[in-house]
Amino acid sequence: MENEREEIKKGILLLVLISGCFLSVLNQTLLNVALSNLMGVFDVTAATIQWLSTGFLLVNGVLVPTTAFLMKRFTTRQLFISSMLFLLLGTIICAMAPNFAILLIGRMIQAVGAGIIIPLMMSVIMFIFPAEKRGSAMGFIGFAMIFAPAIAPTLAGFIIDYVSWRWLFIGLVPLILIVILLAFKFLVNVSETIKSKLDFVSVILSTIGFGFILYGFSSAGNQSWSSSVVIFSLIIGILFTVFFCIRQIKSKDPVLNLSVFKNKVFTLTSLLNVLVTMIMYADLILLPIYLQTGRGFTALEAGLLLLPGAVINAILSPATGKLYDKVGAKPLFIIGLLFMIPSMWAVTDLTATTSFIYLMTRTIILRIGLSFITMPLNTSALNALPKQLASHGSAVVNTVRQLAGAIGTAVVVTIYTAQVTYHTSEIMIENPMGSTERIESLSSILGSGDAYFFMMILTIVALLLTFFMPKKNVDKEESAASKST
């Protein structure tokens, strides 16, 4: 009976956390489709409007490395409710924003809340679930993290076409309030707090380091790698990140414990995480570019094409979580990547007549592959660590994902832009009398195919990396070692 009550508590706890995660991720992705519309509303350039995404990413990215300290210093309830209150405040400000500056401030306040939720949730799962059940629990989190961006483009496209952009925020307010009320009633603290002092020097170093790296890579996506802003940002970012890492290694009570990288499984899964996140983010950027710039589809049509694959991905996530608990990470990674490689190859030769159904089927295959990898990757990384390093592990995993997302986007946009320029000059030599619109469309299609070829190579590299992963019995040994430390 006692166990049953404990299970019910775990179920409610998981439901509250997943609801918060869903709204946080939905809010993060909802605005992507609305950016071109908001350029007209506030009369700003593409470079300026991009700050709604870049600013969110920066605040999120600089906050994540400090979440390990925050989880040590504050209770689960305090952190979760605070993060949801930040999300609520930012959403209200965005909904009422009279100008672009206020909208940007609201977005950055939202990002403070969003930055805490996912690492907090991963740590909670490490504390309340035994190693053999964490895959299933992570699978349900994966459902929220994947289903939110799955419906975001279609939902945002519908709201922009038929209502007003303000409803992207107004609609979230009552949902966030419900999650806050549920958290006050049902959320319990799962770990002991420790009164440790915050190392402000480390926080400043990580903020400048990660902030400039993220800004450098996101700027490289819009400008060029030779831009002085990009070069300066990356040099400053890398320099301060190196100082931050040295300080963490020497510190007795580090803000972010980098000793997690001494674990082979954690390091390998982190490398895989970088590659898979780069591929995933790049596809989310590249496919809409091809559909809208190359083929003239609307944002809503592009969203509808992406929807079935992402919904299938979300539905499969709990199932692959259970599979992870039974067979371990390695077989799932190999199966997932064997789905992903052909899905990348299928779009390396895009044309102006590639059918909608073909692209939708290919995206479904990609998303089936990702469902075997995304959450098992996080579970495998954190399962390999002792319980006392769980919060540091989740902070590192999420920091790595933030950086990989920015790098993946920047690299793929750079390759796409360079190849579009190359193909434009080639087409103009072959057909100097062709219309500008036709040349731009064809160059965009060919550039997308070239960028996908690069992503296919990354997917093959990821597959080769999985062969270095230990088998299930080694995972069990790691888990036993974790319990004994």
Q: What is the pLDDT of residues 397-409, one digit of tens each?
A: 888 887 887 788 7
Segment 252-261, tens digit of pLDDT: 888 888 888 8
Instruction: State the Cα angle at 304 between 164 and 273, rounded to 5°.
Output: 105
Domain 1-197 has CATH 2.30.30.230: no
Residue 176 pLDDT more than 90?
yes
CA atoms within 13 A on the CB side of 287: 28
What is the pLDDT at residue 222?
Answer: 64
| Model confidence, pTM | 0.79
Which CATH architecture describes the domain 257-485? Answer: Up-down Bundle (1.20)
Residue 465 pLDDT more than 70?
yes
Q: What is the DSSP code string of 160-185?
A: HHHS-TTHHHHTHHHHHHHHHHHHHH
What is the pLDDT at residue 2?
Answer: 41
- Which residue has better confidence, 479 or 368? 368
- Close Cβ partners of 71 (under 8 Å, ≥ 6 residues apart): 79, 119, 120, 123, 191, 391
Residue 479 pLDDT more than 50?
no
Q: What is the mean pLDDT of residues 292-313?
A: 80
- Which residue has better confidence, 476 or 306? 306
What is the pLDDT at residue 246?
Answer: 92
Residue 477 pLDDT more than 90?
no
Tokens describing residue 307: 């929807």
Confidence of residue 311 (pLDDT cuts 50, 70, 90): confident
What is the pLDDT at residue 179?
Answer: 93
Q: What is the spatial distance between Cα 333 and Cα 315, in angstroms, rounded to a whole number?
A: 18
